[in-house]
Structure 1
């Protein structure tokens, strides 16, 4: 296991459009003693309700959503480009059918009982504050439904407080 240090959140500097949208991340949580992760490329960071938060979007059909819904904690793990194949794998396979973390060549680590990906170089440990299902009625532009939800497989937006930042 790698040695992670707490990193001051006020020193955190990255471009969220690049870090999340182009480089991607893994959202990881657990339920019933099993860790599960999935690749995310939609989300962001900011301030809400006076707290430093992250927000992520997870489709209804994702196995990881079942885990996130059962647990009030999750992590966001950022890996360097050498792990692109693992990120692709975690976005294309379901933990419902296999140990996706191991099969992607990754390992779980834990802090405060929250699982995160040990190969990460930056980790956000998060406490879930809100879960809001996105519905078709909320779209102000009709092309959103056509382009992103033609089969009706909607997202839930999770807003979570960033409790701790870890770096190695």
Structure 2
């Protein structure tokens, strides 16, 4: 009888021991933080493969992985085979518990930045955000990874146990990242000589020091940019701007930011365009004189137009409905200011920044409207002012 009791006790304790062992990978240091931002990184070595071959393999994988279906949303934000760069946006659910009458899960959004080089592929996952539905609340709770899954928020005082409330976000995020890195490695190393047991998953490496400006990076520090470069971004020619500008404006929106380090403000906009004028690449935007940004736009020469992924929809929505005159709009929106080489302001969360200099500015008048409906709509109302700016620089993650 005693032997049976010992056997049952050992059987019951075994899963607990295994669980404790598994938890070790989620403890101190499991969520890397670089300059205040959560950044998971992985370098996959693929000896003998050229940059183009690595790019083709990873491009095919991202094209299949970052798509929109019933289970997830995703898309490729940027792709440049010559440079070996790919940027993706993903949105999917992390399920904590699923039962017949209950479902505990959170929606997670993130960016994956990929840089292909001869013999290796560097991956970064950052800009992680959560939207968590709570049964007794009408609106989901919104969190950034930096305020939810770091050691400070998910580990006890001794750093040896997970806090129950936030620990589930941490463990499921780490598992998701591990799986993404594992899947990418499987695609890249297919047909390569094995250097480790097949059951050994790729480990998350410690973040490398800041990469040169010639490479694509996933983190943008808060410091001002150095002359001629914007740290964390890669410069491209205006005629290489990726994406559909009509969709980027009408559906995704942008921020117009005017001013300098001493005083600046941003506003959400969905009107504008890109073009060519006076033999220069130009951007077009419109600002209503009633907006606080208008004053700063009028007093300065340079400004930025910046674009964001769906993860920052709430921030852009806030910037569109609140004035910088009423408080710290930047802090309330949760954005991180950076300074461009020309001294203009933008935000490190943007995946694309157009640095512009005023070329033409013209106030619109109702008489200039050809559409009768619009002419009636705007009759007697203050109309927007149009700004056409020379595109000085284009910065992309």
**Cα gap change, 1:12/1:135 in structure 2, threshold over 3 Å: closer, same or farther?**
same
Which structure 2 residues correspond to residues 8-157 of structure 1 after superposition, within 5 A? 8-30=237-259, 33-112=262-341, 113-147=343-377, 149=378, 152-157=381-386
Output the CA distance in 2 between the equivalents of 1:65 and 1:59.
7
Q: Is the 8 A contact 2:257 2:346 kept in 1?
A: yes
**Cα gap change, 1:115/1:32 in structure 2, threshold over 3 Å: closer, same or farther?**
closer
RMSD over aligned CA atoms reads 1.5
Compare the two structures and name the one with the higher strand fraction: 1
Q: Is the 8 A contact 1:63 1:94 kept in 2?
A: yes
Extract unaligned runs of 5+ from structure 2.
1-218, 221-231
Output the CA distance in 1 between the equivalents of 2:379 and 2:252.
26
Q: Is the 8 A contact 2:254 2:268 kept in 1?
A: yes
Output the CA distance in 1 between the equivalents of 2:269 and 2:379.
20
Q: Is the 8 A contact 1:24 1:39 kept in 2?
A: yes
SS in 2 for 1:152: coil
SS in 2 for 1:14: coil
Structure of larger gyration radius = 2
SS in 2 for 1:36: strand
Compare the two structures and name the one with the higher helix fraction: 2
**Cα gap change, 1:99/1:6 in structure 2, threshold over 3 Å: closer, same or farther?**
same
Instruction: Choose between structure 1 and 2 for higher RCO, CA contacts under 8 A separated by at least 6 residues.
Output: 1
The CA deviation string for residues 37-62 of structure 1, in whole angstroms up to 9 with x for no partner, is: 00010000010111000000111101
Output the CA distance in 2 between the equivalents of 1:102 and 1:96.
13
SS in 2 for 1:27: strand
